[in-house]
């Protein structure tokens, strides 16, 4: 069997940076109680390992006191929560992805200048929730071209993208927004790593009999990779770990493609490769 791995798969820069910072906190030996506000990344294995090492995930900052240290997730948080953490006088370790931080600053700056804010993305995704929190939760969140129809006509607006949406989604919605906004300032804030990961996944999905997409079930960028691959390869599955692979489905497969979401560590990718290759050898 031939196994192809996408050129751009697994940890992106922001996630790799956050995971390193988190494990550095585990190993620094101080007496602070360390918490993560929300799941640091969308990968259950990494989150569980950090929790096993003492970094508890919380959703409510009321659990924190002055002897606490809190890690800000890669997706970022709303400005209001950031200020509340400062008031609690806890130590803040900000792991917000620098690309997400840039989106927050753009939104905050134009909001203060009196612009309406439009975010293209999933309104329930933590990144979008966080970004919206930097314009007093006043943004119009657009998830599809249909949403543009319900948007009121705006005098002036600034539009940004959730960093993990597809380029097609951005272009399709932006074209319609131009008809709804008199003065539209646009920032294509899709992360370059997202574009590269999606392009490489699309490329190999055209060359294989089956695609395996590795990543957390709640990972937005992983779900988008799956949709891209499904357009080119009918046999596309999404898994979180090698344990989910049923080797029976590989019996009539000659070429397998593998890609992985931005929160998937290299060792999980390798475990999938090892299971596939060893399983076929044992037939």
Mapping DSSP to helix (H, G, I), strand (E, B) and coil, where does residue 126 land? Answer: helix
Mapping DSSP to helix (H, G, I), strand (E, B) and coil, where does residue 281 land? Answer: helix
Q: Are 24 and 215 in contact (CB under 8 A)?
A: no
Active site residues: 127
Q: C-alpha 210: how far from its chain's center?
A: 24
140-142 and 154-161 beta bridge pairing: unpaired
d(CA 70, CA 105): 22
Element (H, E) at 94: strand 91-94
Q: Measuring CA to CA, which residue among 207, 220, 80, 102 is closest to residue 160?
A: 102
Residue 114, class by beta-carbon neighbours within 10 Å (0-12 exposed, 13-18 middle, 19+ buried)?
A: exposed
């Amino acid at each position: 069997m031939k196994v192809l791995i996408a050129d751009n798969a697994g940890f992106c820069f922001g996630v790799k940076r956050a995971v390193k910072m988190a494990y550095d906190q585990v190993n620094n030996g101080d007496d602070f109680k360390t918490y993560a506000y929300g799941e640091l990344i969308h990968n259950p294995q990494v989150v569980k390992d950090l929790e096993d090492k003492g970094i508890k995930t919380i959703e409510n900052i009321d659990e924190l006191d002055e002897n606490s240290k809190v890690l800000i997730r890669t997706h970022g948080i709303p400005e209001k929560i950031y200020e509340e953490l400062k008031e609690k006088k806890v130590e803040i370790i900000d792991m917000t992805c620098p690309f997400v931080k840039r989106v927050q600053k753009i939104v905050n700056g134009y909001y203060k200048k009196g612009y309406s804010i439009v975010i293209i993305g999933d309104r329930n995704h933590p990144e979008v929730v966080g970004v919206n929190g930097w314009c007093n939760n006043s943004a119009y969140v657009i998830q599809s071209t249909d949403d543009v129809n319900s948007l009121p006509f705006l005098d002036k607006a600034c539009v940004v993208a959730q960093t993990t949406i597809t380029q097609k989604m951005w272009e399709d919605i932006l074209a319609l927004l131009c008809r709804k906004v008199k003065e539209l300032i646009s920032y294509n804030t899709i992360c370059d790593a997202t574009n590269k990961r999606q392009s490489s996944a699309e490329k190999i999905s055209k060359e294989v009999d089956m695609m395996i997409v590795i990543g957390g079930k709640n990972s937005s960028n992983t779900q988008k990779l799956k949709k891209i691959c499904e357009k080119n390869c009918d046999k596309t599955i999404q898994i979180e770990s090698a344990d989910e692979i049923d080797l029976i489905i590989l019996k009539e497969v000659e070429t397998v493609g593998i890609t992985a979401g931005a929160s998937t560590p290299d060792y999980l990718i390798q475990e999938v490769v090892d299971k596939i290759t060893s399983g076929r050898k044992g037939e």
